[in-house]
Chains A and B, each alone.
Chain A
Amino acid sequence: MEWFFNFPDMSRSDLREFKKTVDFAFTDFSRSYGAEIEGFFEPLLMFLVWFEKFFINTPWPLIIFGILVLAWIGSRSIPVVIGTFLSFMLIGYFGMWEDTMSTLAIILVATFLCISIGIPMGIAMARSNKVQAVIVPVLDVMQTIPSFVYLIPVVMLLGIGKVPGLIAVCIYAIPPIVRLTNLGIRLVDKDILEAADSFGANYWQKLFGVQMPLALPTIFAGVNQTIMMALAMVVIASMIGVKGLGLPVLRAISNQYLALGLMNGLAIVVLAIIFDRVTQKFGLRMQKYRNDSKD
Chain B
Amino acid sequence: MSENDILIQVNQLYKIFGDNTNEALEFVKNGMGKDELLEKCNCVLGLNKINLDINKAKIQVVMGLSGSGKSTLIRHLNRLIEPTSGEIIVNNQDILSLSQKELIQFRQNNMSMVFQKFALFPHKTVLQNVGYGLAVQNIPEKEWNEKAKKWINRVGLDGYETYFPGQLSGGMQQRVGLARALATDAEILLMDEAFSALDPLIRSEMQNILLDLQNELHKTIIFITHDLDEALKIGDRIAILRDGSMIQDSNPQEIIMQPADDYVSDFIKDINRARVIQAKSIMTHTKVKSSGATVKEDMVLEDILQIMSDAPSKPVTIENSKGKVTGKIEMDNLIQGMKRPKSQGTNITG
Contact = CB atoms under 8 A, between A and B. Distances in A.
A201 B169 contact: no
A196 to B, nearest CB: 8
Q: Which of A194, A195, A209, A295 has the most CB of B within 10 A?
A: A195
B133 A200 contact: yes
B17 interface: no
Nearest to B79: A197
Contact of A214 (B123, B133, B135, B136): B123
B166 A198 contact: no
Nearest to B172: A294
B107 interface: yes
B164 interface: yes
B133 A199 contact: yes
Contacts of B169: 294-295
Contact of B168 (A202, A213, A294): A294
A201 B129 CA distance: 13
B112 interface: yes
Nearest to B104: A200
Contacts of A214: 121-123
Given A199-B107, A202-B104, A293-B167, A194 B136 contact: no
Interface string A163-207: 000000000000000000000000001011011111111100100
A194 B79 CA distance: 11
A200 B119 contact: no
A199 B109 CA distance: 9
Given A289-B164, A294-B168, A195 B115 contact: yes
Interface string A45-67: 00000000000000000000000
Given A197-B80, A198-B78, A294-B167, A191 B108 contact: no
Given A199-B136, A205-B136, A194 B119 contact: yes
Interface string A72-86: 000000000000000
Given A199-B107, A294-B169, A191 B117 contact: yes
B76 to A, nearest CB: 12
A294 B132 CA distance: 23
Interface string B278-290: 0000000000000
B148 to A, nearest CB: 13
Most buried by A among B106, B107, B122, B123: B123
Contacts of B208: none
A292 B122 CA distance: 12
Contacts of B117: 191
A196 B115 CA distance: 11
B136 A198 contact: no
| B111, B115, B136, B180 pick with most chain A CB within 10 angstroms | B136
Contact of A192 (B108, B119, B133, B137): B119
A262 to B, nearest CB: 45
Interface in B88-114: 104-109, 111-113
Nearest to A212: B123
A293 B115 contact: no
Contacts of B123: 213-214, 289
Nearest to B113: A198
Interface residues of A, number: 23
A200 B105 contact: yes
B317 interface: no
B174 interface: no
A200 B115 contact: no
A229 B168 CA distance: 40
A294 B166 contact: yes
A18 to B, nearest CB: 44
B108 A199 contact: yes
B225 interface: no
Interface string B165-191: 011110000000000100010000010
Contact of A200 (B107, B122, B166, B190): B107
A154 interface: no
Contacts of A44: none
A252 interface: no
B166 A199 contact: no
B115 A194 contact: yes
A60 B44 CA distance: 69
B80 A200 contact: no
Contact of B111 (A192, A198, A201): A198
Contacts of A189: 119
A200 B108 contact: yes
A210 interface: yes
Contacts of B80: 194, 197-198
Interface in A151-168: none
B122 A289 contact: yes
Contacts of B113: 195, 198-199
A199 B184 contact: yes
A192 B167 contact: no
Given A191-B117, A195-B113, A200 B136 contact: yes
A213 B78 CA distance: 26
A290 interface: yes
B105 A290 contact: no
Interface in A118-162: none
Interface string A94-130: 0000000000000000000000000000000000000
Q: Across chains A and B, which 5 residue pairs bring their CB atoms closest together, nearest first?
A: A200-B108, A293-B166, A200-B107, A195-B119, A198-B113
27 contacts: A189-B119, A191-B117, A192-B119, A192-B120, A192-B122, A194-B80, A194-B119, A195-B113, A196-B132, A197-B80, A198-B80, A198-B107, A198-B112, A199-B113, A200-B104, A200-B108, A200-B109, A201-B136, A205-B136, A209-B135, A210-B121, A213-B123, A214-B123, A289-B122, A289-B123, A293-B164, A293-B166
Interface of A: 189, 191-192, 194-202, 205, 209-210, 213-214, 289-290, 292-295
